[in-house]
Amino acid sequence: MSAIKKVVLAYSGGLDTSIILQWLQDVYHCEVVTFTADIGQGEEVAPARAKAEAMGVKEIYIEDLREEYARDYVFPMFRANTIYEGEYLLGTSIARPLIAKRLVEIAKQTNADAISHGATGKGNDQVRFELGAYALNPGIKVIAPWREWDLTSREKLMAYAEQRNIPVDFKKKGKKSPYSMDANLLHISYEGGILEDPWSEPEEDMWRWTVSPEAAPDQATYIELTFSKGDITAIDGKSMSPAEVMTYLNDVAGKNGIGRDDIVENRYVGMKSRGAYETPAGTVMLKAHRAMESLTLDREVMHLKDELMPRYASLIYNGYWWSPERQMLQTMIDASQQYVNGVVRLKLYKGNVVVVGRQSKTDSLFDESIATFEEDAGAYNQKDAEGFIKLNALRLRIAGKKRLK
């Protein structure tokens, strides 16, 4: 262990990572560099600096990564309409590649020997952090304390913190937190506590970003989202950056009771896990993007994207953002978005996102003269359908004749 002289720690300032900071110093006798990322978790990250300084840290990195996160990770993912196992919008998963990238970059900048994280040995995040780190720096050393130490319960962690006078706000509250939570611009997740029983309904006071649909306004909210090459670039005609788009949608959708989900998912490490999620902006973005594509994408391109999306979603969920296969798929997905331009109008009402209009003045493939139920002036010859049907029925008719013998 003496070979490790300096470690870069992904540090939130909370209970677990504060204990990890001290544990690294105690066990590895090394210098620790802390890295705290603001990716829109909605909480102050500045206090992490004071906590790190109080624990003797000399090199402290606190970075606002909200725009990079939204622009380079969330938006590219939503171009694919990505959803894992039919429900999960991957709010935790998509944040990990960025954190892994900065850990590796800071390790290089500070001549550190290793990086460290607070993910447990039961979860997906250890895989995501480490696959990303190894992809970007194959020789990097990773220290995962949860796989090494014997602090296997909340009580042991608290005792360790008390013994070493670790400044943890959690201690001052004098009570056990009922949930393990993770938040960023895309979502906030809740695990543990009563959620470990899949039959138990989440308590209403657990939710932080959304009102219940029952308590949402009785008046619907209408918004118009402008798309350029598959990305939202304006809301109600006002240009916004990716992070601004997500911040605005989190607020307006949350007020309308949109974005709650309760899921039992299959973790990459093999177990099933129950979690509750709030993803207001993501829920709106997915609905709107699909509506924009419905107007502007060729049928077979859309269907091919839909076929590939579950594989793309699994790559992100399982931590393969930096893999060559994900990058290959991303190239294809981005190419499909060239003509995904226009405006989608939505109605937000009591937990529902309803598409009420879509238009693209330059790239719409909807031809009213052909689709109309009224007189089409010869734009479409209905007699052509007879040959089309017979050709497509040929193999069915041949097989049918054989079976009737």
Alpha helices in 229-298 (DSSP H): 242-255, 280-296
**DSSP per residue, 195-239:** GGSTTSPPPGGG-SS---GGGS-SS-EEEEEEEETTEEEEETTEE
16 has catalytic annotation: yes
Q: Answer for the pair 220, 347: CB distance below 8 angstroms, yes or no.
A: yes
d(CA 122, CA 272): 11
Catalytic residue among 12, 16, 79, 189: 16
| The total number of residues written for the chain in this structure | 405
- List the catalytic residue out of 96, 128, 274, 326: 96
* Host H or E run for residue 8: strand 6-10
Task: Verify whether residue 96 is a known catalytic residue.
Answer: yes
Query: Is 169 a known active-site residue?
Result: no
Phi-psi region for residue 319, left (φ > 0), alpha (ψ -120 to 50) or beta?
left
Strand intervals (E) in 91-139: 114-116
CB neighbour list of residue 74: distance below 8 Å, 6 or more residues apart? 94, 185, 186, 242, 246, 282
Q: Write down the catalytic residue from 180, 294, 314, 323.
A: 180
Q: Which two tokens stand for residue 10?
A: 């992904």
Please list, residue by residue across 373-401, b when 16 or more beta carbons sit within 10 angstroms of its beta carbon and e when fewer do. eeeeeeeeeeeeeeeeeeeeeeeeeeeee
What is the amino acid identity at position 357? G
Alpha-carbon distance of 279 to 185, in angstroms, equals 9
Set 38, 113, 125, 231: catalytic member: 125
Q: Let me know if 125 is a catalytic residue.
A: yes
Q: What is the distance between the terminal CA atoms of the chain, rounded to a whole angstrom?
A: 78
So which residues are the catalytic ones?
A: 16, 96, 125, 180
